[in-house]
Structure 1
Amino acid sequence: MDAVKSIFQSVFRSRSKPRFQRLSWIRTSWRSVVNDHPIVRRSWNTLFWLPTAIVFTDFFFVVKQVAGPSMQPTLNPNSSQWRDIVLFDRYHVKVEPRYERGDIIAVWSPSDPSKLFIKRIIALAGDVVKTLPPYPDLQVCVPEGHVWVEGDERFNSDDSNVFGPVPLALIDAKLLYIIFPFDRIGPVSSRITVRDDLPKGPAWRNEMAAIERQQWRDSRVTKRSE
């Protein structure tokens, strides 16, 4: 820091020098300080890349850690001792939003704008969906510009059965990929299909259970929009 201070002191003492000569001297001195002082170099690199990082996470992709059990067993399963770390896509949500039943999204709570939830889209605009308690009506036609979202762990989730259909404007991002823990790393699809090559065992049983949950969710959408 003493080196930085001496640079600025020298600049003020050298006002009599030609303007371009002073600027050239400042650039040369600053490069010397950055190269010779690791703390200054790291701070400068951080400041240099910070705007790029902000733009990247605001408009393209963002990494989030999943908290809570509401999306079990898809995310944060009981079999894992780690919280899932996942990659979300913000770009397509902002530029060309297209959603399918089964998509997992990050969505701001309609009842508390400070809370960001991770939920699954159950029904799209125009769909008629059978609700679950504590929702007061037995079924709902999802209005235009909204989706119906729920957690995979339906007995431990604040979702549309609590606050109703969610406006599309509250969707923050769409889940793409699990990046940690490493034994579960991979893309996250909106639809699960049976794999014939999967041998019977724990993984096969988990996949069959996931397909049964998917079929149960599908059965609750009694009328589908085109």
Structure 2
Amino acid sequence: MGSLGRRLAELPWRSSAAATYSNFSFVVKSLCAFQVIRSYLVDFIIPMGPSMLPTFNLTGDVLAVNKVPTWWGQLNNGDVVLMRSPENPRKHIVKRVLGVEGEMATYLVDPANSDTTKTVMVPKGHIWVQGDYIHSSNDSRNFGPVPQGLVEGTIFCRVWPPENFGLIGSKVNPYEPPTN
């Protein structure tokens, strides 16, 4: 037992402890930086469901979300946004912006059964959002204009699957109601 004690006493404890502390400190700082980047700059999501067909796959693509435009309210028609659901704040939804404050938004009232349209004025501080597949989308047609404060970012890039990698364009909804 005496020789074991002497061997332990001869080990360079201070340098080992300093190296361990340095490595631990690096890991903690890296995790903090990663969290800041995900919270305020760019995040990744996997949306599920049919509301954004054919833009996104039903089983979910990996999408990059730019969180910077939401700081200044820089949303435009055609942008695809990640937002909290106005009906259930615990749920995130992905929709396309079809009207910003002060604009008139025209939409199909019941796209499955008629071509009847309705036009609404988007109030200040709100946006009008719809899914690209209007036959299976719970959107502003159901819950009305959405406060801009619920928007968490704009989707700008599809990361996965690799064959579909690329930027997500800001386009007008391909399922717009016909003009009368």
1:65-116 deviation digits (Å, cap 9, x = unpaired): 1211110000115xxxx6200101002212x331211100001111111111
> Corresponding residue for 1:116?
92
Q: Does 1:85 align with 2:62?
A: yes
> Corresponding residue for 2:31?
50
Q: How does 1:133-148 map to 2 (within 5 A)?
A: 133=109, 138-148=118-128
TM norm structure 1: 0.64
Tell me the C-alpha RMSD between the 2 structures. 2.7
Q: Give the Cα–Cα distance (whole angstroms) in 2 for the partners of residues 89 and 218 of structure 1.
A: 29
2:102 to 102, 126, 132: 126
Q: 1:128 to 1:92 in 2, by over 3 A?
A: closer
> Corresponding residue for 1:103?
79
TM norm structure 2: 0.79
1:91-142 deviation digits (Å, cap 9, x = unpaired): 2212x331211100001111111111000001111122223336xx932111
Aligned to 2:37, the other structure's residue is in SS state: helix
Amino acid aligned to 2:136: N
**Contact 1:122-1:217 at 8 Å conserved across structures:** no
Higher normalized strand content (fraction of residues): 2
**Contact 2:106-2:177 at 8 Å conserved across structures:** no
Amino acid aligned to 2:161: P
Amino acid aligned to 1:178: R
Compute the displacement of 1:44 (Å): 5.9
Amino acid aligned to 1:56: I
> Corresponding residue for 2:176?
217
Q: Give the Cα–Cα distance (whole angstroms) in 2 for the partners of residues 102 and 189 of structure 1.
A: 8
Percent identical pairs in the alignment equals 26
1:164 to 120, 144, 147: 144
| Higher CA-based Rg | 1
> Corresponding residue for 1:29?
16
* Higher RCO, 1 vs 2 (CA within 8 Å, ≥6 residues apart): 2
**Contact 1:146-1:167 at 8 Å conserved across structures:** yes
**Contact 2:69-2:75 at 8 Å conserved across structures:** no
